[in-house]
Structures are given as C-alpha cells and as structure tokens.
Structure 1
C-alpha cells in the first residue's frame, strides 16, 4: 500500500468559472486527483488524505459503486441479508444511519452548510442533521462499533486499504446512459451539487470525466479487475433487475448467509420497487425535510433500465454508443442487455 495519497491539481481556471455558474452547490472549485484525474470538489484538498488512509476492518461490509448505479437498493439488500432480515430495525432507522456514506462531507461546502443552518433556524434536530452530514465519514465511522456497513463511491485505487483488510465488498455497476440520466437528475435535486444546466451540457461533463467520482470507465474497470478477488462480488444493476431472486441468492452466498424460500419471498416483496420507492427509511426524506434534497422522488426513482431513451436525442445516443464502444474495446467487461 502506498502511504502517500496521489497528488492533485486544480481544474483550469476557465473551466472552473464555467462550471461554478452551473453547479451552484460548489463555491470554490474542483480538483483532479492522481494520474486518472479523479474529479472532486475542493474539499478533497482538506479531507482526501484522511479518506485515503481510512482503515477498513475485517468485519466491515462495503457497497461500492459509481453514483446512481443501484447503490441504495443494493445497500438495503446487503444490510438485511447480513442482519438476519431484521425488517423491524430497517423500519425504524434510516439507511443512512445503518449504512453511512463515507465521503459525502466533501460535497458540503461550508457556505452551503451555513445556508442550510439558516434555513432550519429554530429547528434543533434539522440543524443537527445539517451539521452531521458535513462531518467527514472517517470521523463518524471510526467511532462506530463493529460490524460496520459502509457506502462509498470512491474507486478502489483511492481506498488502498480495503482489499487487504478482509472485509466483504459488493460492487454494483450500471450502464452509463442510465447512470448519466439519473446522475443529472440528482445533481439538479441536491443543493450540495445545485446543477442548473440542461442534460446535453451535463452529458458532456460526464463523458469528459468532469462530474464527481469520474472517470466512469476507470471506476468500473478498476472494480472489474478485482472481480475474482475472494472478498469482492461484482454485480450489474441490470442483472439484479432481471432476476432479483437469483441476485439475492448470489449475494447471500457471498455474505455467508442462508434463508428459506419463505424468507426470500418476503425480502423480494420488500425490495419490489413499488414498495421500496415509498419507504421513508431509504428514500432520503430526512434530507428533503432539512432542505438538502429539493425534489421528491429522485433518490429512489423508477428502478428500471432504459429510461435514458426518453432523455437522449438521436444524436446524443449515437455519440454515447461510440463512446461506449471505444471504452469497451480493450476489456472483456460486457453489460447485460436491457
């Protein structure tokens, strides 16, 4: 393990000025980290080293992904499988409490946090939530007793301790066209990103590795390279949608758990998107109440593949297909058909 985190450079001034006009949640700028130029808001300069040195424990269970890849659905599934289908606790504690997001603090610009505190003046519990989500996950999780459940969108190369720690890691991937559309909607919905532009402009940023946690392809390829690691399970969101029962059994086996057909049937019903998207414990209602999330129904959305078709123009689709083909030509990574 390299003890020194990769160096970073600030995004060029002209591009920074352009993007600050469109991403209102960031007020300072962005950095590009390491040789692959991982893209993060400026708070990475303050917190990145501590995230890089964060120590995973053997008893941890992680869910990793590029954003908007079916992460929330997978997290709830993993948590329930590991916790003997404890629907009672899952109905009382938010998923964010049970499965903390390691690096969300990087997206809480101090000026935005001050605004949120002002909006919630007079409501102590909402103000506390605004302060809590701005706390670095390495501080929060260090204080957690084991076993811990951890969500992260960091690529493997920025979590160098994780593979040798003995912990279990489920990585979920999704086709880039659906990712881009869902990521666009979420960037518009969260004040921490505050995107006010249109989709073609966002697509251009995404394709050119200028949205957070990009580059998308390097993210997936780093995970794909670890697919045969005994403590890594690589899943496609599309395969989970196509045959959830088989996916549940696959993940359950990976986690060393066994359940009866009756128990699995109950879990299938619980995870059905019609029920899941209305579950206040997983759809970030608490963030909506304190003003971080501006639009209802965007965190857990339709849960379907192919929704990109209603957003992409014919020209954008052609461009996307060429971009996908170019990036898949030197790999055996193949997305399941929609």
Structure 2
C-alpha cells in the first residue's frame, strides 16, 4: 500500500510535550485533502472513540462499548451490522476517495457516537485533543496484527495471490517504518492515566474479560448487572463472535469492489490467539520483525510488556 507523508495544521501539544515537527505522519495514498477534513471535523462532547492499530481487537472492543452504551440491548446488536452502529472513520474515503462524502457516516450517527479509527494521535481531529471525549485504546503485539491483516486483505482481494511470507516482508520493509505501530501505541500509553482515556490490551481482554468489562463500565459511567455480565461474557466470547454475522464485517466486505474479492475467503473473526504468529511466520521472519519492534521500543524507552500491560 502507498502512503503520503502529511503535515497537520496543528498538533496535540496540549497533551504531549515534544517536538511534533519531527513526528512523521502518513496517510493512505491518495491523501488529497482528507487529513485536513479529519483535522477540522466536529467532535461531540459525548463521543466515544475506539482507537487501535488495525486488527488489534478493535471489533471486539467496539461491540463491547456499543452494548454498554445501549443498556446491553443484545437484540438490537444482533439485528444491525456493527459497522453501521459504530462507523470506521476512514472507511468511506478508502473506498471512494471522495472527501465531500467521506465523513457523512459519522456525522449522521445519533449521539452518543461510537467511532472507530486507526489514525495515530496527530492525525485525529483537533477538537478531540481540546474537548477530550472518551477515548478507548487497545494494543496488540504487532506480529499478530500483521498476520490478521494479511487474511483480511486477502478476503478483500488486495493481497490475493500473495503469500503470507511476501506480505510480511513488504510490511516490514515498507509499511511498518511509516505506520509505526509502537509509536502509535506509545502516544496513547502516555495518556493512560488521563480521566478521559482508557488504555488496555488484547492480552488483558483475553486474560480477564470480566475485569475489562467492569473497568470499562465504570469509565463509561454505566451499570452492569450480574445477569448482563454473564450474557456479555457469552456474547463476546470468541465462539459467539465468530458465528455472529453482525460482527464479521459482512457489510464492509460488500462495499469492496476489488476484482479479486472473495476468490479466497477467511472468516473475519479467524484465530483470536495471543502469539498466533508463531504458528504462521517463519522463524527468520519472526526474528526480523522482533528486530524492528525492539528498535522502535528502545527508541521510545519502553518495553512490549509495558504496552501490553503485562507488568
């Protein structure tokens, strides 16, 4: 995938003090005026933003947040695709490259809006830094996210015919240096103690989903009964999510018009493992990926265990 380097009109200097002019930011090509449109968009005080690197447990968290904000209305959740209940900020633009219509799915959403985004902090709306609505961030080991992304893009047709090994090589050489997953997480990790930010990890959700639900309900000022908790745990289990058509991005899949779409099919909720990359990546690729990740961790004076909340 091609990326354009962009320079925002302003930076979140009120949140993190650093030389933001040295922070390189990239937007999927052709960027056109879309980064500026996002920078200038209106953010509502009661917005809830779910922000992640791609394939980090985003859908899992979105479904949880939507249910908490809608009084655990499971019937409503099962009757409408998640992408329509909680839009992906960048999706319409990625499909149509039309800046004029790109933000309409979010703008037309009833409040409180639950918005998904994969942008780094510096490419999010300026009003988000100023109004400080609720922000939820989920981090996952980049190696697992890259494996999941491969199968996702094969489904859409963009990577059809390309081997996993080829894809990972391209990610490590071309994409990861620009869409740095470590720095993406570090900037939100630095904000984790802010009252408007809830930072967690895929590992924590796998380890103790009940605790994540409990913590998140407090963060969102929602009450969950024990009966609702039991149903949430079942509804959000890997087995239930995998067979739930509204959480497997079928609506999103139908919007993609790539000629190779559907020539190879993998379920969106596919593996859901911690460390699943070890079963799919060659040892030499894991070593290469670890070198890149370690380099970025050291540059930011942080460990992977810290970002994953393992210590």
TM-score, reference length from structure 1: 0.77
Structure 2 residue 157 is the aligned partner of structure 1 residue 184: no
Query: Is 1:308 equivalent to 2:277 in the alignment?
Result: yes
Cα 1:244/1:137, change in 2 over 3 Å: farther
Residue number among 15, 25, 39 corresponding to 1:52 in the alignment: 39
Determine helix, strand or coil for the equivalent of 1:331: coil
Q: 1:234: how far off?
A: 0.6
Per-residue deviation, 1:325: 2.3
- Equivalents in 1 of 2:38, 2:254: separation in Å? 28
Secondary structure at 1:108's aligned position in 2? helix
* Contact 2:51–2:117 (CA under 8 A) maintained in structure 1: yes
Match in the other structure for 2:86: 99
Gaps of 5+ in 2: 8-21
Q: Which moved more, 1:45-54 or 1:319-328?
A: 319-328
Q: Is the 8 A contact 1:217 1:327 kept in 2?
A: yes
Pair 1:222–1:38, CA change in 2 (3 A): same
Shift in alpha-carbon separation, 1:171–1:38, aligned structure 2, 3 A: same
Q: Distance in 2 between matches of 1:203 and 1:33?
A: 25
The Cα of 1:260 is off from its aligned counterpart by 1.6
Asked if the contact 2:147/2:277 (under 8 Å) is kept, the reply is: yes
User: Is residue 31 from structure 1 mapped to residue 4 from structure 2 by the alignment?
Assistant: yes
Q: Work out whether 1:276 is the aligned partner of 2:249.
A: no
Distance 1:335 1:290 in 2: 33
2:190 is matched with 225
Once the two structures are superposed, what CA deviation does each residue of 1:299-319 show, in whole Å capped at 9, x if it has no partner? 222222121012211111222
Aligned-pair CA distance for 1:163 = 3.0
In the alignment, does 2:129 pair up with 1:163?
A: yes
The CA distance in 1 between the partners of 2:100 and 2:149, in whole Å, is 23
3-state SS, counterpart of residue 200 of structure 2? strand
Partner deviation per Cα, 1:152-207 (whole Å, 9 max, x = no partner): 1011111132132241111011001101111122122224x446433333223323
Distance 1:141 1:178 in 2: 29
Corresponding position of 1:7: none
Contact 1:169 1:233 in 2 (8 A): yes
Which structure shows the bigger proportion of residues in helix conformation?
2
In the superposition, relative to structure 1, how do residues 135 and 310 fare at CA in structure 2: closer, same or farther (>3 Å)? farther
The within-5 A match list for 1:125-274 is 136-159=101-124, 160-191=126-157, 193-194=158-159, 196-208=161-173, 210=175, 214-274=179-239
CA root-mean-square deviation: 2.5
Q: 1:59 to 1:212 in 2, by over 3 A?
A: farther
3-state secondary structure, aligned to 2:43: coil
Q: Which residue of 2 aligns with 1:9?
A: none
Moved more, 138-147 or 216-225: 138-147
Tell whether 2:277 aligns with 1:317. no
> So what's the TM-score if we normalise by structure 2?
0.84
